[in-house]
């Protein structure tokens, strides 16, 4: 048995989760998952408590006498690593007086977070606060891929290949014999006869290689995101809070358990242990950028890396891998929001 499953048996459930393809947001968790660890409604949205599954939708809960809020983000906000629905961040934030709707989904980037919120805006009338626990997925995409406008998302290659399967087959054949590789983005507008021309005309191929595709810069990516959040906050008269999600290599010395888990994931070449994320330089680049645009657009900002750095020691085991927490980790972070 792997160390991961020996120390964190709940991770078997998360690791076996598939995705369902959906319009606009591209993908989400499958609907109506039923396990001891996690449960989702008819839209793939996670419940906050196993007792809530009597309702087909999370929005069927009677919250008329409670203050309501929304949590957006990727897999950390979704609660990967927790042993049950009630031990996620949104679960800890929900009680007799408050209810937090968890609209997070694994692998989401900023634009997807906004889109999923907009698709459920009718059901979310009256919410008091919207919290975004995010940052790592956007940062990883920007650090590791050519982000052509309007930006990248996870599984982008899958969609590109599916939508351009004929061109992609030819492109793979052409690139096989070439040292200078073309991308699907560079040839997506070409006719099939022009694709064939790439094989026989060096001049035409060089023209395509030199084609200037508009890329989105690091600052432009985050400024667009925060501008959109600011406009929504003002329009809907809702308090928006942005939280930089914690990354173990940025915020704490590893406990014995965390070291064993990270060592194993390093052998498996987990992308979140990449040098493009690790290091003080990367942390400062992301945190300072987010802080800057939070101030420009008057959004409340909190860095969970600082919360963990201040409130834990090397002996505290709160991470199950580089970006996901266990029950103790989510409970710790929820306290900083309750106090807030």
Q: Cα–Cα distance between 249 and 121 in angstroms, integer? A: 36
Helices 280-296 and 218-236: crossing angle in degrees, nearest 10, is 40
Give the closest residue to 136 by CA, choosing from 271, 247, 14.
247
Q: Cα–Cα distance between 229 and 296 in angstroms, integer? A: 12
Q: What is the pTM of this model?
A: 0.86
Predicted confidence at residue 181, as pLDDT, reads 66
Q: Cα–Cα distance between 131 and 102 in angstroms, integer? A: 10
Question: What domain count does the chain have?
Answer: 2
Distances (CA, A) of 106 to 49, 78, 194, 270, 298: 19, 7, 39, 15, 27
β-bridge pairing 98-102 and 300-303: unpaired
120, 237: one domain: yes
108, 234: one domain: yes
With a cut of 50, list the residues of the chain below it in pLDDT. none
18, 84: one domain: yes
182, 256: one domain: no
Predicted confidence at residue 33, as pLDDT, reads 97
- The whole domain housing 200 covers 156-209
Predicted confidence at residue 114, as pLDDT, reads 97
137, 254: one domain: yes
Which domain CATH number covers 255? 3.40.50.1110
Report if residue 151 sits inside a domain: no
288, 235: one domain: yes
Report if residue 312 sits inside a domain: yes
268, 132: one domain: yes
126, 260: one domain: yes
Predicted confidence at residue 109, as pLDDT, reads 95
205, 221: one domain: no
Predicted confidence at residue 6, as pLDDT, reads 97
Predicted confidence at residue 270, as pLDDT, reads 79
Predicted confidence at residue 210, as pLDDT, reads 58
200, 224: one domain: no
Which position has the token pair 């920007």? 142
Q: What SS3 string covers 7-51?
A: HCCCHHHHHCCCCEEECCCEEECCCCCECCCCEECCCCCECCCHH
Distances (CA, A) of 334 to 75, 91, 178, 301: 16, 9, 53, 15
Report if residue 103 sits inside a domain: yes
10, 64: one domain: yes
Predicted confidence at residue 199, as pLDDT, reads 62
Predicted confidence at residue 1, as pLDDT, reads 75
Q: Cα–Cα distance between 13 and 204 in angstroms, integer? A: 50
Is residue 271 classed exposed, middle or buried when 0-12, 13-18 and 19+ CB atoms within 10 A define those classes?
A: exposed
> In this structure, what DSSP letter does residue 254 have?
P
92, 65: one domain: yes
Predicted confidence at residue 268, as pLDDT, reads 83
Report if residue 149 sits inside a domain: no
């Amino acid at each position: 048995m792997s160390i991961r499953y020996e120390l964190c048996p709940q991770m078997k459930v998360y690791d076996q989760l598939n995705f369902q393809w959906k319009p606009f947001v591209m993908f989400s968790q499958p609907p109506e998952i039923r396990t001891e660890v996690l449960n989702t409604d008819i839209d793939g949205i996670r419940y906050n408590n196993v007792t809530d599954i009597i309702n087909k939708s999370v929005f069927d809960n009677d919250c008329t006498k409670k203050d309501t809020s929304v949590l957006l983000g990727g897999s950390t906000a979704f609660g990967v690593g927790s042993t049950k629905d009630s031990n996620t961040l949104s679960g800890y934030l929900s009680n007799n007086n408050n209810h937090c709707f968890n609209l997070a989904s694994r692998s989401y980037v900023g634009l997807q977070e906004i889109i999923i919120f907009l698709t459920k805006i009718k059901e979310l009338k009256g919410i008091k606060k919207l919290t975004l626990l995010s940052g790592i997925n956007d940062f990883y995409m920007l650090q590791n891929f050519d982000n052509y406008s309007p930006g990248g998302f996870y599984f982008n290659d899958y969609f590109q290949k599916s939508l351009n399967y004929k061109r992609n087959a030819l492109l793979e054949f052409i690139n096989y014999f070439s040292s200078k590789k073309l991308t699907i983005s560079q040839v997506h507008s070409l006719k099939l006869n022009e694709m064939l021309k790439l094989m026989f005309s060096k001049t035409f191929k060089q023209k395509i290689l030199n084609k200037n595709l508009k890329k989105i810069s690091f600052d432009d990516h985050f400024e667009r995101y925060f501008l959109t959040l600011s406009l929504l906050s003002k329009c809907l008269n809702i308090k928006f809070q942005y939280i930089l999600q914690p990354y173990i290599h940025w915020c704490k010395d590893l406990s014995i358990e965390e070291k064993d888990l990270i060592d194993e994931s390093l052998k498996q070449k987990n992308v979140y242990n990449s040098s493009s994320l690790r290091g003080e330089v990367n942390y400062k680049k992301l945190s300072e950028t987010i802080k800057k645009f939070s101030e420009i657009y008057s959004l409340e900002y909190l860095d969970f890396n600082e919360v963990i750095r201040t409130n834990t020691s090397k002996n505290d085991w709160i991470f199950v891998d580089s970006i996901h927490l266990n029950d103790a980790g989510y409970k710790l972070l929820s306290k900083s929001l309750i106090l807030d």
